[in-house]
A and B are shown apart, each in its own frame.
Chain A
């Protein structure tokens, strides 16, 4: 059984020509050019099942956008197989694009100078949406996104959050089974972000829409996606449940202690355990951080309770941001590969 989206050994190389320096170099460039080949996507394979919401992350220049462009059919792969919704995206553009929705957070697909509703009318026509479907979907979109009040304004007069809501609705007007989102929450305030996430959850639940989401905001992924794919230097470093990533790579633990009162401070100063870094935050609060392979929370707590009277204990696992940051800087790649 094939997935809804399938990539096998997908490769994309760009040939860019190296400009020689200076005026003489520019003249020489006219006659002979040196090309360098950049392998932006270096043999990635994965499969996405219907109804999945997958987070796709990676540092800038990792090959994320390039692979999404191949999946949406804008770029032709150098080699490898890509199939989605039963189509080869770059080969069957017309039929394929009818079955997908795409949202770019940085760019709008709505006509800039005309009222939003005109863009919607155009999209309705392009995607051949019936009047009844159009009306029911617009009503549904308005329930969460509350877009009806912006419909008669030109896009250029909308705030980023308002524009994003409209763009989200525009991408789903034809109820596509597959939705690509490229940084949909970039630059949005907390409320707008929450609104967009809520909307995506509902769409996924009610219509079974498959979603591939690229983002730099990991809270998007924690809120929306069970599965995470991490790409770097054109290769997929991790593909699996978010929880598994945390379990595998959770290395640092922090314990915050709140002392019974300020008088316990002196006692807490006595605390010392190998591998545990102690930071005094204020009179009654201390933070202990340690590598969970060297120490256990149990030992740390037992020791702390032994030296001072403690009111509260908060154990904080490493945040997903910290884990991903370590992956990006390359310090955990070996651990992922050992898996």
Chain B
């Protein structure tokens, strides 16, 4: 098959898996009503922490006013509800239950299958969780609007990259399950590393200067920190374009690495039973 024959079909598969992901979570929509409350509580906790910190020193976080910080945290949690996905857990569970064999028996890329499903779920959460949570949080807390209409457009483009980036990263983490079977420890570790290094908990400017330099070379901060800076108007002109380009380069690089890593690991597949 030529590449041109594979691609439209591959894309069609992706959309079809997205549809399935969407319908699949539809069956559990009740779960999302409680999700809105969870996100509200999270933002509330951070709101009061930052409030206390800024009360002691109005210049507490370099480059962020209190209102900017509240916006950073609020928008940060709201977008987390859409870029977040469970690809790593799904793969791990499929390996433990032996279902991965069934996936391997289909003429599709497992990566596309998982990614498609995650995108479908993301669309679902966007409607059922992100938007309502966004409305509720912006009514409760003094959240600023985006810096400008153009910034908002770039923010959305950057958020799209965050979704893909999280998907690519989680696929790589999940792939470890093929060898290790249970990756519960790895999943936990990833969770905390991700929250911290993505810039969700605190902006990267609050890390020590040395750490900032190192972290700039890792993909994590492009998940939350980059779109949030664009939203707040802290990235402009060439800097903004560069940040977006770097995000998408990471997406492509990690997706390619994930595909290769998967192929290597699958060679070692030993599914239970004999």
Q: Chain A interface (Cβ within 8 Å of chain B)? A: 14, 38, 40, 61, 63, 65-66, 69, 72-76, 93-98, 100, 102, 104, 107, 109, 111, 113-115, 118-119, 121-122, 125-128, 154
Contacts and interface: CB of A to CB of B under 8 A. Distances in A.
Contacts of A119: 20
Contacts of B274: 14, 38, 40, 61, 63, 65-66
Nearest to B25: A113
B252 interface: no
B13 A97 contact: no
A90 B139 CA distance: 56
B244 to A, nearest CB: 32
Nearest to B97: A107
A93 B17 CA distance: 19
A43 to B, nearest CB: 16
Interface in B102-149: 102, 104-109
Contact of A126 (B27, B101, B108, B267): B108
A114 B27 contact: yes
A96 B20 CA distance: 24
A107 B12 contact: no
Given A107-B98, A114-B20, A128-B9, A72 B107 contact: no
Given A14-B270, A107-B99, A126-B16, A114 B23 contact: yes
B271 interface: yes
Given A74-B101, A118-B20, 11 more contacts: A40-B274, A63-B274, A65-B273, A95-B107, A98-B107, A102-B105, A109-B105, A113-B27, A118-B19, A122-B20, A126-B16
B67 interface: no
B147 to A, nearest CB: 41
B16 A122 contact: yes
B42 interface: no
A69 B101 contact: yes
B269 interface: yes
Contacts of B16: 121-122, 125-126
A98 to B, nearest CB: 4
Contact of B271 (A63, A74, A114): A74
A227 B79 CA distance: 60
Contacts of B109: 94
B100 to A, nearest CB: 9
Nearest to A119: B20
B24 interface: yes
Given A73-B104, A114-B27, A126 B273 contact: no
A61 B272 CA distance: 11
Nearest to A65: B273
Contacts of A76: 267, 269
Interface string B1-31: 0000000010011001101100110011000
A97 B107 contact: yes
Given A69-B271, A75-B269, A76-B267, A111 B105 contact: no
Contacts of A111: 20, 24
B107 A127 contact: yes
A109 to B, nearest CB: 5
| Residue among A40, A96, A118, A122 having the largest count of chain B Cβ atoms under 10 Å | A122
